Structure 1
Amino acid sequence: MVETWLVELLKGTGRFFLHPVLYYLVFLVGVLGVMRVKRERKNFHIRAEDAYFELRQLFPLGMVIGLVLSIVTIAAGIAVPFAAILLIAVFTLLWSLTTNIRLISPAYTIGAAFFAIIIIAQNNWSVPLFSQTFSSVGDKVYPSMVVILGLLLLAEGILIFKNASKGSSPKLAKSKRGQVVGVHEVKRLWMVPLFLLIPGNALHLPFDWWPVFHLGTKEYSLIFVPFAIGFHQQIKGMLPKVAIELHGRRVIILGALISLLSVVGYWYPLISIVVAAFAVIGRELLALFAYLKDDSMTSYFSKKNNGVMIIGVIPESPADKMGLQVGEIISKANGVVVRDEQTFYEALQKNRAHCKLEVFDTKGEIRFVQRALYEGDHHELGVLFVQDERKYDEKIG
């Protein structure tokens, strides 16, 4: 028995490296990184994070979450038809072609696959190259797909809460009044790999009660599936970390609710259809609510009368080592009152060996930071500000 499981684990892992979504995600993340760097250089003449930043976020946390969810799905015996895995991959590709990264959410990819598999089965459609796979699906609803949807929505919320605010990208935009303001944007892709049970001929049921949530067969195989999770949010009305973590908590609540409701579908299959629709609509409403709330707020990153606001800090730069944070306001540099980027750097030139800043933190409390400067530091302190109208128009033009 143990030997059979080990062999299936190895086979399932091997199939993981044959899955096209794995390589497609790496490609997409690379494109996102390059586009972000290009935009940041256009706005600020320098990039914040390097082009590989998004790639470094793709795997680590998602792998940990995937391991935990794999234990849950296998222990509960949650099995899905192979046709569902194929359709999820297809909709991941299709929704990515819209260039709207947030559509690569489990709510949309698994949700679309769930309804597609019902429609295909109901109409007895033949799918080229995979006719045998889809003919074995049968005319039934698969609650297991909705359970996976709920668990991955929960994973999405955790990833947003824990990871999305890291390295949020500063950019410049025009407000409704035509003023130059700063916003923060997050475009992130994560991969959450899951071991899933599919109908096969390798693993026999060791107990009468396992799998708990079965497909009606007695034999299964394991497959290691890379699931894509996409996220996009633009924030202008508050600190990016606050807004993103708030959004993440809401998605976690939605994912937990969908996971609980989805279990009912094993006793009342038609409930699964309602829960899947609720997941899609709920995820869309959360995105819409976040957008409308942010759009109704005044610009957080705009010109201030008491100094210049920091919209970005370059990692490992002197500014980063001084502890400067996004959203803080620099009111004085080397004892000189600063009103814009030009006067800030002119003040730094007054003392080429030392930098002393008077800063209002995000709570409005004043603090002082200082650091010895080395050759070139005063030119590349590593802090990004909202540009004035003239500079913005020159860059956009």
Structure 2
Amino acid sequence: MHVLKVLELFLIQPLVWVGLIRCYLAARHRVRYERHQYKSAIDAHYLEVRSFFKDGLLLGLAATIVSLGLGLIVSPVWVVIYELLAVVSLVIVPNALMPATVFGLSWLAYWGLKPSLTTQLNTQLQTHGVTTLGLNSGVIISGCLILGIGLAATAILLRRRGLQLNSPQIRPDQRGKRIVRYRWQQLLVLPVGVLIPGDWLHTTLTWWPVFQVGSQKFSILLLPLLVGVSAQVYKQRPQQAWQRLSKSYWWLAAASIVLAVIARVTTLSPRWLIGLIGLLVLGVWISLARHRYYDRHQQFWFSDTDQGVRVIGIRPNTPATKLDLHIGDVILECNRQVVQSEAQFYAALLKSPTYVHLKVRNVQQELIITETAIYNGAPHELGIVLFTDQED
């Protein structure tokens, strides 16, 4: 029962609801675009919202076990600064996600405000029973490890995204030809259990759990940790691109652990420790820049073609998933009939209402033959997403 009450207090925090609204709006925009562009949504379920709850709770549980196992301690003042900056970033930057940047800025703001907090806000907080923490190395090391938890969670999301829906967005290039962009933008707010000093929560809510280590008392708080990333590709298969980016985030998560260990065994000032968090944030930006650079220097475009029809998406749970097809493949023949447009493709499908036979050229320029059963009388439910025919 106490666990449920702790979770209830997590759910009333503004960052959770702002994140949920932002996630819902992104999912609704995707579904509307797909229905407008492809006549029906590739996946009408709001997967982003489902992931917000399902993945958020699972990853949050794992993160809480790690955080409490390591005894990570945070300052209540820093929590307020972090949540405020996170909410502002979600509101004023509608088309991007900056979790790592917000995390780094929160520590920079906490460091910059610390002199005034010590003389003013700390006194007010202590009158209400809130124990504040000085800007010591132990607190910042905890912050470094919390950042590592967020980076690891992002790596897991990217890895899983490679196996899930990839929604194509059609864009014109400089020559007026249609190309496809695949964008990954998933936002989570993880409930990460951390320790905060004092028993001020217990004095207000008598059921709130309190732990005592030596002479110091600690309460558990579910920190809403903003997790996610916004990335896109034009010239890579999205599954491979997200997995490659996932490896970069795993390396950064490992680096945060190494830096925390180094800081623990050495005597670094808080200023240098905040510099280590800044170094990790810089590593995130470098990883995203490398991702964009690698994509720009690939030769292959997911573009419209004059020979055949390009596969730009595959709907889940349809007969198309049984075909040996991949994003970027070009269908040359359908039921032994040459096709050069979406209309010709579906006309050829109607010639065999229960079975489809395809001749395909993959991105390696190899010719393959694939076939499968389809729904009787429903060729549009095959599940292959193609460039829609342009109107004259």
Q: Distance in 1 between matches of 2:362 and 2:350?
A: 24
2:151 corresponds to: 153
1:266-310 deviation line (CA, Å, top 9, x unaligned) = 442333112111122111121122122212334431234653221
Equivalent position SS for 1:97: helix
Residue 369 (structure 2) aligns with: 367
2:274, 2:16 → 1: CA distance? 29
Pairs within 5 Å for 1:99-114: 99-100=93-94, 102-105=96-99, 107-114=100-107
Which runs of no fewer than 5 residues in structure 1 stay unpaired? 1-5, 209-216
Cα distance between partner residues in 1 of 2:233 and 2:124: 46
What amino acid does structure 2 have at the position aligned with 1:116?
A: A
Compare 141-150 and 109-118 and name the one that shifted more.
Answer: 141-150
- Aligned residue for 1:352, secondary structure, equals coil
Q: Match for residue 280 of structure 2?
A: 279
Q: What RMSD in Å do the two structures reach over aligned CA positions?
A: 2.8
- Whether the aligned pair in 2 keeps the contact of 1:102 and 1:230 (CA below 8 Å) is no
The number of residues matched between the two structures is 373
Q: Evaluate the alpha carbon distance shift between residue 322 and residue 368 of structure 1 in structure 2; reply closer, same or farther with a 3 A threshold.
A: closer
Please report the TM-score for the alignment, with normalisation by the length of structure 1: 0.84
Shift, 1:137, TM fit: 4.1
- Cα displacement (A) at 1:43: 2.3
User: Cα distance 1:129–1:332, how it changes in 2: closer, same or farther (>3 A)?
Assistant: farther
More deviation, 244-253/92-101: 92-101
Query: Match of 2:32, as an amino acid?
Result: K
Task: State which of 169, 183, 186 in structure 2 corresponds to 1:185.
Answer: 183
Higher relative contact order (CA 8 A, sep 6+): 1
1:1-397 to structure 2, matched below 5 A, reads 9=3, 12-100=6-94, 102-105=96-99, 107-124=100-117, 132=125, 136-138=132-134, 140=136, 142-143=139-140, 144-163=142-161, 166-201=164-199, 202-205=210-213, 218-266=216-264, 267-268=267-268, 269-304=270-305, 307-320=308-321, 322=323, 324-361=325-362, 364=366, 366-375=368-377, 377-387=378-388, 390-391=390-391
The alpha-carbon deviation at position 65 of structure 1 amounts to 2.8
**How far did residue 190 of structure 1 move?**
2.1
Cα 1:100–1:256 change in 2 (3 A) is farther
In 1, the alpha carbon distance for the partners of 2:78 and 2:117 equals: 15
**Distance across 2 between alignment mates of 1:307 and 1:91:** 50
What amino acid is the match of 2:222? Answer: F
Counterpart secondary structure, 1:225: strand
Uncovered stretches (5+) of structure 2, i.e. residues with no partner: 200-209
Task: Give the TM-score, by structure 2 length.
Answer: 0.85
Secondary structure of the residue that 1:283 maps to in structure 2? helix
SS of 2:236's partner is coil
Aligned-pair distance for 1:128?
8.7
- CA deviations on 1:110-138 (whole Å, 9 max, x unpaired) are 21111111111134489999952799344
Report % sequence identity: 23
Contact 2:324 2:370 in 1 (8 A): no
